[in-house]
Amino acid sequence: MPAYHHGNLRATLLEAAERSLREHGAEQLSLRELAREAGVSHAAPRRHFADRQALLDALAETGFARLDTELRAALATAGADFPVRLHAASAAYLRFATEDTALLDVMYAGKHRADRVAEAAAAPFGLLNDVIKDGQKHGAIAPGDPHRPGVLLLATLQGIAALTNGRLVIPELLDGILEAAIEQFLAGQRTSRQ
């Protein structure tokens, strides 16, 4: 654990919370334990997080911001070809979803109170929506509300991630499954246009 430095307690607590989340899950996350680990009084975390749920909200917000960064990085190197962009964004999402399962669970917990969590989630989902709109512009995805095929894509990716995280799909098969999923997604979109 990095030593706490004055003025940096919120970041220190979030780092410790992420470690605890990975090692023990959200159920074991405790502000008191995080304070002990940071070497501060048990009341000190309350200056940054009113309660445990506020800490979970902050973790979810951090997770969505990180997902947004990873999607942006993948799309920045993908070029302009729609299928390549779709694959890059999908692979980045799957990588994120399978590398930090506990954080992903917190992100999708549905118990969040903070509007900031919804705002943070809007950024990466907006990027995926933009990829869908690009597919519509190029005729690979049926015209209309991009939200519908976007939700279908996200549900597909999340399902693959859940199966992988549950060890029902071995990670070595992930690339092939992703290729097949994208192929089926695009074939379904072509069929729905006809």
What range defines the domain where residue 45 resides?
1-49
- For all residues of the chain together, what is the average pLDDT? 89
Cα separation, 194 vs 188, in Å, equals 10
Q: Regarding predicted confidence, which is higher, 4 or 17? A: 17
Residues 100 and 117 in one domain: yes
Domain-terminating residue out of 49, 67, 88: 49
Say whether both 15 and 73 belong to one domain.
no
Q: Are residues 40 and 62 in the same domain?
A: no
pLDDT digits (tens, 9 = 90+) for 181-194: 999 999 998 755 55
pLDDT, residue 1, reads: 47
Q: Which of 17, 33, 49 is the last residue of a domain?
A: 49
Residues 65-119: tens digit of each pLDDT: 999 999 999 999 999 999 999 999 999 999 999 998 999 999 998 776 778 888 9
**Concatenated DSSP letters of 6-25:** TT-HHHHHHHHHHHHHHHH-
Same domain, 91 and 137: yes
Q: Are residues 9 and 83 in the same domain?
A: no
Q: Is the dihedral of CA 15, 110, 88, 97 positive or negative?
A: positive
Mind listing the pLDDT tens digit for each residue in 122-160? 999 999 999 999 999 999 999 999 999 999 999 999 999
Q: 133 and 92, same structural domain?
A: yes
Q: Are residues 44 and 64 in the same domain?
A: no
**1 and 71 inside one domain:** no
Q: Are residue 67 and residue 110 in the same domain, yes or no? A: yes
103 shares its domain with 161: yes
- Do 164 and 97 fall into the same domain? yes
Q: How many domains does the chain have?
A: 2
Q: Are residues 70 and 103 in the same domain?
A: yes
The DSSP-derived string for the chain is -PPP-TT-HHHHHHHHHHHHHHHH-GGG--HHHHHHHHTS-TTGGGGT-SSHHHHHHHHHHHHHHHHHHHHHHHHHTS-S-HHHHHHHHHHHHHHHHHH-HHHHHHHT-S----HHHHHHHHHHHHHHHHHHHHHHHTTSS-SS-THHHHHHHHHHHHHHHHHHHTTSS-GGGHHHHHHHHHHHHHHHHHHHH-
Which CATH number fits the domain that encloses residue 122? Answer: 1.10.357.10
